[in-house]
Structure 1
Amino acid sequence: MRADDLDPNRNDDLVDVDPYAPTEPPTTIPVYKRNQAPEGLATKRQLRAMGLSRRGLEVVAEVETRGPKNGYLYEIAKAQPVRPMTLAQEYALDRAMAARQTCPKCGRRYYGCLKTSLGICLECHDGTPAHPTSYVMPPAGPKTA
């Protein structure tokens, strides 16, 4: 250690700078009560119901909800239409839903998803008869040669 390191009159012009400190002040957005948001703003669910996407949109306001988090509001005028599903996406979605709706034991495909706790339909599980309008395909019969 040098003697001039302890000199209180020495001025090194060092500045303590936080490199992670924000350079601009944080912007605040308005928060509206439930059902009090102005016309022209919508939540992401409302945009989806209108066939619009929030892709590329900035959050312009918030709306208070019953839960711990507020809902974000987007401008309807700047929203773009939802991109249509391609045939490959539609095919993949149908295969995924078929896996959730088809009983592995009897081969019936139901309109609703099967209970994951059972893994099979109620008719195969405990003999509860399924109404004929509740499934798409009839069960596979015995193969004849």
Structure 2
Amino acid sequence: MANKVRPVLLLPVAWSPYPEFTHGLHDGLPLLPTKWAPPHLLATRRQLNALGKRPGGQDPVALLYGYSETGHCQWFANLYLISRAKPKLPMTPRKWHALNLANLARRECKRCHRARDYVIPPTFGMCFPCVEASENTNLSNENGADPWAA
């Protein structure tokens, strides 16, 4: 699959008083290939998170794009102005408590109601001992034996 060739255009941008080279517009935002975005001015959400910041309600000023070699498709990422980014909100005790309850719900078996030391796979919906017990019960039922007999 051949990469789509985009023309290089000189367009006005939000992060500079002068027009900058971009690869046109996509959804009304300047399109920048990887390595073209000025790293001291623009950042993605993950890069802002690494800096201890968040977008803070601002709209993206540009789009970063690239091609995935493994997926053979094009990807896009919103770029935000670092100067307008706000600091991340700190974790309060109430947030920590809510996060602990959510993680506990992921570790609690729906069948035996025990909290396990691992996250229960959603494909099974129960812990591994309960999965093994249900498989053994199904095998004994298929053989015509009484599942409750010892």
TM-score by length of 1: 0.58
CA contact (8 A) 1:60 1:74 kept: yes
Q: Which runs of 4+ in 1 moved over 4 A?
A: none
Q: TM-score, normalised by structure 2?
A: 0.56
Percent of matched pairs sharing the same residue: 33
In structure 1, what residue type is equivalent to 2:39?
E
Paired amino acid for 2:122: T
Aligned Cα root-mean-square deviation (Å): 2.4
CA positional deviation for 1:32:
0.8
Q: Which residue of 2 aligns with 1:118?
A: 124
Amino acid at match of 2:105: A
| Structure 1 residues without counterparts, runs of 5 or longer | 1-26, 128-145
Uncovered stretches (5+) of structure 2, i.e. residues with no partner: 1-26, 68-72, 134-150
Q: Check whether the contact 2:31–2:62 (CA below 8 A) recurs between aligned residues.
A: yes
| Cα distance in structure 2, aligned partners of 1:29 and 1:117 | 40
Q: 1:28 Cα deviation (Å)?
A: 4.7
Structure 2 match to 1:44: 45
Larger Rg: 1
Structure 2: which amino acid aligns with 1:80?
Answer: K
Q: Number of aligned residue pairs: give it.
A: 100
- From the two aligned structures, give the one with the greater strand fraction: 2
Q: 1:78 corresponds to which residue? A: 84
Which residue of the partner structure matches residue 56 of structure 2?
A: 55
